[in-house]
Structure 1
């Protein structure tokens, strides 16, 4: 005995992964226009990162000696 509720389904097979039926190709000639460029404006300069690194090393050595 069949279920009368589930009689309206397509038996042609599963849809492709992602649900997209069109075959889209990657446009390699205009790849830079297809992707978004993300710039971090809050990134510290190299000198700031270097000073933070050596400052942390100094603090760790100071705490190891006097702590």
Structure 2
């Protein structure tokens, strides 16, 4: 049995560095991201890393949690 791992980018501050490390690991199969991660900057930071590693797949969540709860 072989395990597949994913990099979740929800709470990462150094998204690009973590993605580079994950891309170097053969067992990392996915990079998971969403439009609101890092206040909308995660996709921009991930783009060059994913372009350099075309074999890595990414999953973009289309429905994500709001950045902050509205006041009651």
What is the TM-score with the length of structure 1 in the denominator? 0.20
Structure with greater Cα Rg = 1
The TM-score normalised by the length of structure 2 is 0.19
More strand as a share of residues? 2
